[in-house]
């Protein structure tokens, strides 16, 4: 019996930061290394001392896996590897490896250069950290060491997002990261094969939502943007540089084209232009339609969307601005928000989830007076809209993934406790599997009961399957073998071979029983009567009368002699080996009952 | 297992492997050298070609003069070019379960196999292989279909007629099997049967066999394949390269421990050094252009062309060629250039790093941006307006029998200022040029073949140490034209097994074990016993289940409980059946201890007699006798079952069970 544990150093019942530790068959794997964007203090990074207590992380962890480039999944990586200290392998997909350092650097700049925080990772640390990254292909089986292997599946959440299967022997865990089960305008849907993991660790951000059709939401979004622009208002769309931004850009670009609109659309500088380049170069990670048509028209070359300059924010007249970051917690989006918040003609559209503590979360929960840095109060008069464009699976999607992968246990993370409870019940009802939802820092232990692979000698297997091919297939045939365990190798061989390999001789155990029967006839006549009797009873056995006067039933030998004192009694010597004990003992009791009266 | 060899072309292989219970086709290359026997298909009416005289037999008969034309002493078939297919009669191809493709050059016969043989299986290939393979097929179909040819010659194929023809037509093999090109609907249908795979992805076939593609370093997405079960491993090496060009480097380590290594797709020009050839290519190109001539480079639309463009990118400024236009003409030129930029994950490390910046991995993006390289779908349309000379034109097909290259050969062939540079190694350049003779244009032969040469092969084999090597017969002897070069053949121990077209090989292997799974309940019930230090044994009696080639051992079902009211049964019902087998025994019985044990169990009249081989233990009252020898024990008693069982158990205490 072995077990696997999953403990959340981050995630758990919270959407803040993801960091999960999985122990499977003696291997320790850390899944994601996120930071919490709602905090500016120690709480923003996971507590890594929790993992090893005092030991070195490199000694304890076999590998680290990053599911995608969002900071709540990779933001603590340089802190973890360079400041706490980890030198083992870090796995991620190629697009994640490409984009992750750029977002980290951006995050570092905001934190250190703008907010002036010290005790934070440096640019060099990001570079050194990325040197430890090994890029993986989709579906490639990566052998981390001799026993541990990992495999990435398409997750469709952002460019390069992946789910990971972690496998040791026949035990396995699947970690979904964030995923999306419905293809959108730029990415495909998550997909996994029927890999039947012992445990599926799934995000549950939208555990209770069953979202209406995508088309409706898109129409709604375009209508709101269009109305605001028509009445001369400004639209702010806080986004993360990569992901939703590209989807919404494609949406607006086509709408502007069709409606022949003139109001400018801007994309906040730097990152985003680069971001579009990444989409062009990693186009094989986008959806079918974009991949098919990219030679004729690359969807990530926008005509109507131009780079934003800080000065544009004060320009009169309508405009649409995509600005980072997405939760209004810092940077350009927050700056523009502060400028535009006082005008009721303007609108801010939050196209994704906001974690607690961010300005985004506050205004979405209805707060209209915000305390900003320096005790300043900002009054929000602009319209605040929330549109769920986050590419997370909704309840339907999560159920769909469980149906695809057929896990034996499900563990919900990256969601809010109340919502998770609802989903947990639904999963247990529909799939009859155990579902867990550990709190932060809580450990879930799942016992697995794996079967044990051994090597069987071909001779033994062929012997057994040959028997199995006999017409009587209904009765399961028993096979008999000897399991030899030496070092870590397990071999199932025939008992004869086991003896031979060990250089041992077989010890033959034989029994001979005397059975007395009353029969005045001559010996050979008695033998004949015994033979006919046995032949009649044992129809499925090979009963033979040998020339030397003895009888064999299979390997059991029967000889008759006259009793030395009583000529009317014959002594039958029944002789068999230990291996044929059942039959031998049965024969003696059968013969003891005497022979039937001869009718002849 | 068996290997059916369907192609005789060592670099365009097609083999079928019967491995365990699966039938696996390894590549389906299309031998296009057959097209060299045909007249070129001109895009624009060519007076020269249409005026070629019909061929007349020695006896003066002219019945073939419509089908065969003569040009400078060579005879050509005046018909739609045809290709030499892999063998389709050697085995029933509808029984093929899967086709594994190693690179885009080795899949060109795919539509013939998937659309005409009843094939219902799956094809596995990497994404770049499929995308670029599609481009190659599209170009092929396009260049043949846009020059409709009224005539389809077949009379010359008649065996009696063929005998009368001059070489090489006379010696052409299996002409009756030659086929016209497939169509786009057939290409699409064939490609729809492909399932995409990534390097190091393990693909299970019917639970019996696992196949895995590995990077082979030769082209974008090119792979070698591992075909293995738990105990056998076949490596299929096809078109591999150890040179650092644009693709991801070759994965050699995973080829280790193979029972059999099938080796195909070595370099076709073992004596030429690719780097040297690239240098010669550049200098010949520069010289021609400086003298006011044009350069024609017959090429495929993908592959080496990317490397050539990269070299030129670095070379043109220093060579003063900045103002010379480079044209790339192919119906798939644009697609090929675009596709090359999006396969970051399949590129060598340097190119990957560029994508991370993010910048396009190939510098031809910049050549296009700066208008130094222009691409056109054909010579018609925009090209005719933009066309400036002197210039450099890259276009297909390398056989010079179809495609836009035919036009440029006709256009530039008459001037000695111009040069045609052959870089693709698949066709003999002299044969390719034959229907254009006499030719004033300069011809330069710079074949660039980055695939393994014999020195690299011998190093590779030493490294990965397969038990057996299987290869095309061409690799087991020096090239026919250089029979003294014994270094130009595979040298390994044991010597390689060779194959030729239409042959069936039995591959050597020796297998002694198979995987089986012991269910946890059964495993829990086992009682291991340490027999020798470090070696434990457990006897297993279990039920064997076999499904989908997987074997599982389970606990035997519990015997049904005997009915409570035990009726008197007929004798027949008691016949024992299917009871667990008794284990074998080993060890010996120490007589003294045995006697003590007997006494402890209430036998008071034990007597021991010595014999030649051992002892006889007598239980006088019970009239029972136990013969004990080194390797045997014999209990002889009256029919007293309780006594026998008691004695048996006492004896067993001293013995080990197996």
Per-residue pLDDT tens digits for A448-458: 877 888 888 88
How far is B56 from B79, CA to CA, in rounded Å?
Answer: 17
What is the H or E stretch that residue B305 is in? Answer: helix B304-315
CB-based contact A512 B341, cutoff 8 Å: no
Query: What pLDDT was estimated at residue B26?
Result: 97
Q: Are residues A218 and A203 in the same domain?
A: no
- Please, are residues B231 and B514 in contact by the beta-carbon 8 Å criterion? yes
A480 touches chain B (CB under 8 A): yes
For residue B396, the distance in angstroms to the closest alpha carbon of chain A comes to 21
Q: Count of alpha carbons within 13 Å of B524, Cβ hemisphere only?
A: 8
Tokens encoding B384: 């005719």
Residue of chain A with shortest Cα separation from B551: A461
* Host domain of residue A273: 214-386
CB-based contact A363:A370 (threshold 8 Å) = yes
Residue B319 counted as domain residue: yes
Between positions 325 and 354 of B, the ones with CB within 8 A of A are 334-335, 338-339, 341-345, 352
ipTM value, please give it.
Answer: 0.83
Place of tokens 């029933």: B92
Q: Where are the beta strands (DSSP E) in A215-310?
A: 234-238, 265-267, 305-307
**Which residues, other chains included, contact B301 with Cβ-Cβ below 8 Å and sequence gap of 6+?**
B135, B136, B139, B328, B330, B332, B333, B336, B396
Using alpha carbons only, how large is chain B's radius of gyration in Å? Answer: 36
Question: Are B201 and B64 within one domain?
Answer: yes
| B3 touches B504 (CB < 8 A) | yes
Considering only CA atoms, give the Rg of chain A.
37
Write down the pLDDT at residue A106. 80
CA closest to A505 among chain B residues: B586
- Which of A281, A480, A499 faces B581 most closely, judged by CB atoms? A480
At residue B392, does pLDDT exceed 50? yes
Confidence (pLDDT) at A502: 85
CB contact under 8 A, A451 and B518: yes
Per-residue pLDDT tens over the stretch A125-170:
999 999 999 999 999 999 999 999 999 999 998 899 999 999 998 8
Number of domains in chain A: 4
Segment 226-245 of chain B within 8 Å of chain A by CB: 230
Q: Using CB atoms and an 8 Å cut-off, which of residues 360-389 of chain B contact chain A?
A: 360-361
Residue B269 CA, chain-centre distance (Å), reads 21
Q: What's the whole-model pTM score? A: 0.84
pLDDT on residue B460: 95
Six-digit token pair at B557?
A: 């079902």
pLDDT number for residue A391? 67
Does one domain contain both B369 and B293? yes
Report the CATH number that the domain containing residue A523 is assigned in CATH. Answer: 3.30.530.50
Please list every residue in chain B whose beta carbon sits closer than 8 Å to the beta carbon of residue A473: none
CB pairs under 8 A between A and B: 259
Structural domain containing residue B135: 2-268+451-506
Contact at CB, A454 and B515, closer than 8 angstroms: yes
Catalytic residues of A: 203
Q: Are residues A51 and A90 in the same domain?
A: yes
Residue B98 and residue B212 in one domain: yes
Q: B482 and B589: one domain?
A: no
**ω before B438 within 30° of 0 (cis)?**
yes
In a domain, A541, yes or no: yes
Predicted pLDDT of residue B572: 43
- The verdict on residue B580 lying in a domain is no
And the tokens for A58? 């490199």
Condensed to tens digits (0 to 9), the pLDDT of residues A407-449 reads: 999 999 877 788 888 899 999 999 999 999 887 777 888 888 7
Adjacent-strand bridge partners of B263:
B237
- Is A334 a member of any domain? yes
Q: Which residues of B touch A578 (CB under 8 A)?
A: 582, 585, 648
How far A220 CA lies from chain B's nearest CA (Å)? 34
Residues A462 and A541 placed together within one structural domain of the fold: no
In this predicted structure, what is the pLDDT of residue A526?
85
Contact A126, A104 (CB under 8 A): yes
Q: Which chain B positions have a beta carbon within 8 Å of A579's beta carbon? A: 581-582, 584
What percentage of chain B carries pLDDT values higher than 90?
A: 65
Pair B302, B249 in one domain: no
Of A15-29, A307-321, A453-467, B418-432, give the range with the top mean pLDDT: B418-432
**Residue B355 and residue A281: Cβ atoms within 8 Å?**
yes
Per the prediction, chain B carries an average pLDDT of 90
Q: For residue A414, is it within any domain?
A: yes
Positions of E strands within A494-555: 508-518, 543-545, 551-553
Which CA distances in Å does B25 have to A12, A377, B231?
A: 49, 73, 21
Residues A244 and A199 grouped into a single domain = no
Residue B535, chain A, CB below 8 Å: the answer is: yes
- Indicate if B261 and B360 belong to the same structural domain: no
**In the predicted model, what is the mean pLDDT of residues B43-52?**
89
Q: For position B603, which CATH number holds?
A: 3.30.310
Smallest CA-to-CA distance from A29 within A4, A61, A58 is with A61
Residues B410 and B455 in one domain: no
For the segment B293-311, the average pLDDT, to the nearest whole number, is: 96
User: Is the CA virtual torsion A121, A126, A127, A131 positive or negative?
Assistant: positive
User: Looking at the structure, do residues B230 and B327 belong to the same domain, yes or no?
Assistant: no
Rounded to an integer, what distance in angstroms lies between the CA atom of residue B611 and that of residue B419?
A: 103
Whether B541 maps to a domain, the answer reads: no
Residues A283 and A325 in one domain: yes
Q: Testing the interface with A: which of B585, B645, B654 to mutate, by most A Cβ within 10 A?
A: B585
A188 plus A39 within the same structural domain: yes
B641-657 pLDDT, tens per residue? 888 888 899 898 888 88
Inform me whether the C-beta atom of residue B358 falls under 8 Å from chain A C-beta atoms.
yes
Interface contact flag, B540 A482, Cβ < 8 Å: yes
CA distance to partner chain B, nearest, from residue A216 (Å): 33
- For B:489-518, CB contacts with A below 8 A are 511-518
CB contact under 8 A, B534 and A461: no
Count other C-beta atoms under 10 Å from residue A134's C-beta: 12
CB contacts of B519 in chain A (<8 Å) are: 451
What is the average per-residue pLDDT within B57-63?
A: 84
Cα–Cα distance, B51 to B61 (Å, whole number): 20
The distance of B111 to chain A (nearest Cα, Å) reads 21
Cβ contact, residue pair B583, A496, below 8 Å: no
DSSP three-state, residue A156: coil
B531 close to A (CB below 8 A): yes
Nearest to A454 by CA among B418, B231, B156: B231
In this structure, is residue A245 part of a structural domain? yes
What's the confidence (pLDDT) of residue B394? 98
Assess whether B74 and B190 both reside in one domain: yes
**Residue A458 contacts B, CB cutoff 8 Å:** yes
Last residue of a domain, one of B421, B445, B469: B445
**Residue at a domain's end among A447, A463, A488:** A447
Query: Do B349 and B480 fall within a single domain?
Result: no
């Amino acid at each position: 019996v072995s077990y696997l544990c999953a403990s959340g150093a981050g995630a758990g019942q919270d959407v803040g930061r993801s960091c999960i530790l999985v122990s499977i068959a003696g291997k320790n794997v850390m899944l994601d290394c996120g930071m919490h964007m709602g905090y500016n203090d120690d709480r923003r990074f996971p507590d890594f001392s929790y993992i090893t207590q005092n030991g070195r992380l490199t000694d304890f962890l076999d590998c680290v896996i990053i599911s995608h480039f969002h900071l709540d999944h990779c933001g603590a990586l340089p802190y973890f590897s360079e400041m706490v200290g980890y030198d083992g392998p870090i796995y991620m997909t190629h697009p994640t490896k490409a984009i992750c350092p750029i977002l980290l650097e951006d995050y570092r700049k905001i934190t250190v250069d703008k907010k002036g925080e010290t005790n934070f990772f440096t640019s060099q640390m990001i570079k050194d950290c990325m040197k430890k990254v090994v890029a993986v292909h989709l579906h490639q089986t990566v052998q981390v060491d001799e026993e541990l292997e990992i495999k990435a599946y398409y997750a469709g959440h952002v460019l390069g997002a992946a789910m990971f299967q972690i496998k040791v022997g026949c035990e396995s865990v699947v970690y979904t990261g964030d995923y999306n089960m419905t293809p959108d305008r730029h990415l495909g849907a998550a997909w996994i094969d029927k890999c039947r993991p012992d445990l599926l660790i799934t995000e549950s951000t939208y555990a209770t939502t069953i979202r209406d059709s995508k088309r409706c939401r898109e129409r709604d979004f375009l209508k709101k943007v269009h109305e605001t622009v028509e009445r001369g208002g400004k639209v702010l769309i806080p986004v993360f540089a990569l992901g939703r931004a590209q989807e919404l850009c494609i949406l607006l670009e086509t709408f502007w084209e069709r409606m022949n609109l003139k109001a400018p659309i801007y994309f906040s500088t730097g990152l985003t232009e680069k971001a579009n380049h990444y989409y062009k170069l990693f186009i094989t990670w986008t959806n079918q339609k974009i991949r098919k048509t990219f030679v004729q028209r690359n969807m990530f070359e926008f005509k109507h969307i131009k780079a934003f300059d800080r000065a544009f924010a004060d320009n009169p007249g309508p405009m649409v601005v995509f600005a980072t970051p997405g939760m209004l917690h810092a940077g350009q989006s927050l700056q523009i928000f502060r400028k535009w918040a006082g005008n009721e003609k303007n609108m801010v559209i939050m196209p994704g989830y906001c974690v607690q503590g961010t300005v985004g979360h506050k205004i979405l929960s209805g707060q209209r007076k915000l305390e900003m840095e320096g005790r300043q109060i900002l009054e929000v008069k602009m319209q605040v809209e929330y549109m769920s464009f986050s590419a997370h699976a909704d309840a339907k999607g999560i159920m769909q993934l469980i149906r695809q992968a057929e896990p034996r246990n499900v563990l919900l993370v990256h969601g809010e406790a109340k919502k998770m409870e609802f989903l947990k019940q639904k999963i247990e009802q529909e799939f009859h599997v155990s579902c867990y939802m550990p709190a932060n820092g809580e450990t879930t232990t799942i016992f697995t009961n794996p079967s044990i692979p051994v090597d069987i000698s071909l001779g033994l297997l062929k012997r057994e399957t040959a028997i199995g091919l006999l017409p009587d297939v209904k009765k399961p045939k028993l096979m008999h073998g000897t399991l030899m365990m030496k070092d870590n190798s397990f071999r199932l061989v025939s008992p004869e071979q086991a003896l031979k390999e060990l250089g041992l001789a077989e010890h033959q155990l034989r029994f001979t029983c005397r059975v007395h029967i009353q029969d005045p006839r001559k010996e050979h006549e008695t033998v004949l009567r015994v033979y006919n009797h046995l032949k009649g009873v044992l129809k499925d056995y090979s009963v033979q009368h040998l020339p030397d006067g003895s009888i064999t039933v299979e390997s059991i030998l029967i000889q008759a002699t006259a009793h030395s004192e009583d000529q009317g009694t014959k002594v039958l010597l029944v002789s068999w080996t230990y291996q044929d004990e059942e039959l031998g003992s049965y024969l003696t009791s059968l013969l003891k009952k005497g022979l039937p009266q001869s009718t002849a | 297992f068996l290997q059916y060899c369907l192609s005789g072309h060592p670099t365009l292989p097609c083999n079928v492997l019967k491995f365990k219970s699966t039938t696996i086709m390894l590549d389906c290359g299309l031998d296009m050298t057959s097209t060299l026997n045909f007249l070129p298909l001109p895009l624009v009416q060519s007076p020269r070609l249409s005026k070629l005289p019909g061929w007349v037999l020695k006896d003066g008969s002219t019945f073939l003069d419509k089908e065969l034309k003569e040009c400078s002493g060579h005879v050509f078939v005046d018909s739609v070019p045809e290709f030499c297919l892999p063998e389709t009669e050697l085995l029933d191809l509808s029984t093929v379960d899967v086709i594994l493709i190693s690179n885009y050059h080795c899949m060109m016969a795919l539509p013939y196999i998937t659309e005409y043989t009843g094939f219902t299986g799956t094809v596995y290939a990497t994404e770049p292989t499929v995308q670029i393979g599609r481009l190659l097929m599209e170009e092929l179909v396009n260049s043949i279909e846009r020059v409709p040819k009224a005539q389809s010659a077949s009379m010359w194929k008649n065996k009696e007629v063929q005998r009368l023809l001059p070489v090489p037509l006379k010696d052409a093999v299996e002409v009756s099997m030659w086929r016209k090109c497939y169509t786009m609907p057939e290409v699409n249908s064939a490609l729809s049967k492909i399932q995409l795979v990534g390097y190091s992805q393990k693909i299970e076939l019917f639970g019996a066999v696992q196949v895995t593609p590995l990077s082979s370093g030769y082209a974008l997405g090119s792979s070698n394949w591992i075909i293995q079960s738990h105990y056998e491993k076949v490596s299929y090496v096809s078109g591999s390269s150890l040179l650092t060009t644009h693709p991801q480097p070759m994965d050699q380590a995973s080829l280790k421990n193979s029972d059999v290594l099938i080796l195909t797709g070595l370099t076709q020009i073992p004596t030429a050094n690719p780097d040297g050839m690239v240098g010669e290519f550049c200098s010949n190109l520069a010289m021609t252009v400086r003298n006011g001539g044009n350069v024609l480079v017959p090429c495929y639309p993908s592959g080496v062309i990317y490397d050539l463009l990269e070299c030129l990118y670095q070379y043109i400024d220093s060579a003063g060629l900045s103002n010379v236009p480079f044209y790339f003409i192919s119906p798939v030129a644009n697609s090929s250039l675009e596709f090359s930029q999006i396969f970051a994950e399949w590129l060598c490390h340097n190119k990957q790093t560029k994508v991370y910046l993010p910048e396009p991995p190939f510098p031809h993006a910049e050549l296009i941006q700066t208008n130094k390289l222009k691409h056109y779908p054909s010579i018609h349309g925009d090209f005719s307006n933009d066309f400036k000379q002197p210039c450099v034109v890259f276009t297909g097909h390398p056989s010079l029998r179809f495609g836009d290259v035919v036009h440029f050969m006709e256009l530039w062939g008459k001037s000695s200022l111009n040069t045609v540079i052959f870089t693709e190694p698949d066709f003999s350049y002299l044969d390719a040029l034959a229907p254009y003779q006499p030719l004033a244009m300069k011809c330069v032969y710079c074949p660039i073949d980055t695939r393994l040469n014999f020195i690299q092969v011998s190093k590779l084999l030493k490294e990965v140490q397969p038990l057996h090597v299987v290869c095309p017969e061409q690799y087991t002897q020096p090239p026919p034209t250089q029979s003294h070069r014994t270094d130009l053949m595979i040298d390994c121990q044991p010597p390689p097994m060779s194959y030729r077209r239409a042959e069936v090989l039995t591959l050597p292997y020796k297998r002694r074990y198979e995987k089986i799974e012991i269910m946890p309940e059964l495993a829990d019930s086992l009682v291991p016993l340490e027999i020798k230090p470090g070696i434990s044994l457990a006897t297993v009696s279990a039920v064997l289940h076999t499904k989908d080639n997987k074997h599982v051992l389970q606990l035997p079902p519990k015997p049904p409980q005997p009915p409570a009211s035990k009726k008197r049964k007929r004798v027949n019902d008691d016949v024992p059946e299917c009871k667990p087998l008794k284990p074998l025994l080993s060890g010996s019985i120490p007589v003294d201890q045995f006697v003590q044990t007997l006494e402890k169990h209430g036998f008071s009249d034990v007597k021991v007699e010595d014999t030649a081989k051992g002892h006889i233990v007598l239980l006088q009252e019970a009239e029972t006798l136990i013969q004990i020898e080194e390797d045997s024990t014999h209990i002889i008693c009256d029919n007293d079952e309780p006594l026998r069982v008691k004695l048996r158990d006492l004896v067993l205490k001293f013995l080990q069970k197996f």
